[in-house]
Amino acid sequence: MVRKTRRRLLPFMLAILLALSTLTGCAKRTAQTENNESAQEESKPNSSLGITIGYSDDLVPVEDPNELQRLVDEAYAAAAQEGIGLEYKGEAVSDNGIDFDCYIANSSLNSYDMFIALYGDAELTDELYLSQLMRPGSAFNHLTLNHALPVGSNTVYVAFTQVVLEDGEQKIRAQTMVTIDFIVEES
C-alpha cells in the first residue's frame, strides 16, 4: 500500500517541482525586465522639467567609512523605537460650535500616557482645547471647546503628546500632529 502511494505521489511531486521551477524563472525574467525598464526610464529626461540629473564627478570618498554605518545604525535604532499609535475619527460634529461629538483616543497599543491639544490655526496660537492625561485604551467621545467655531467645516489641528516620568518629572516623550474636520451644523 505504501509503495503504491509513493508511486502515485512521485509524478505529482515532480509536477509541482517543475511548476515551481517555471514560476521562479518567470519571476526572475520579469524582475530583470522591470529593472531594465526602470533604468531606461531613469535615464530619460524628466518630461516636465526637460532635464536629467546625473551624478557629480567631483566627489571624494567619505572621510570615515564607519560614520555612514553609524548613521545607518542610528536610523535603524530610531525606527525600532515605539512610536505613537493614533486612533481617532476624521470628523467631529456639533450643533452649537462648542460641544462636539468626536472620537479621539490614546490607543491601547500605546505604552505611555498622553494628552491632546486642539488648535484652530496652523500656527498653534488659537487653543481650542487642552486635555489632562489619558491612559492607553481611553478615549474622548465628547469635547467642549474654549470658544465656538463658525458654522461649516473647520480644520482643527490636534497634537497627540506622549508623556513619560523621568527623575520625578513629566517630560514629553513623543508628539505628532493630525488634522480633524470639526463640523458645525446649522441649527
- SS (HEC) of the chain: CHHHHHHHHHHHHHHHHHHHHHHHHHHHHHHHHHHHHHHHHHHCCECCCCECCCCCCCCCCCCCHHHHHHHHHHHHHHHHCCCCCEEECCEEEECCCCEEEEEEEECCCCCCEEEEEEECCCCCCCEEEECCCECCCEEEEEEECCCCCCCEEEEEEEEEEEEEEECCEEEEEEEEEEEEEEEECCC
Q: Which residues contact 37 (CB under 8 A, 6 or more apart)?
A: none
Least confident of 42-51, 78-87, 154-163, 177-186: 42-51
Closest CA to 145 of 131, 132, 160: 131
Q: What average pLDDT does this structure show over 2-31?
A: 56
Task: Calculate the dihedral angle through the C-alpha atoms of 9, 10, 12, 14, rounding to the nearest 10 degrees.
Answer: 150
pLDDT in tens, 130-187: 999 999 999 999 999 999 999 999 999 999 999 998 999 999 999 999 999 999 999 7
Residue 2: pLDDT band by 50, 70, 90 thresholds?
A: very low
Confidence of residue 96 (pLDDT cuts 50, 70, 90): very high
- Closest by CA to 161, choosing from 103, 116, 124, is 116
Residue for grid cell 491639544: 117
Q: How far is CA 28 from CA 15, 25, 37, 148, in A?
A: 20, 5, 14, 61
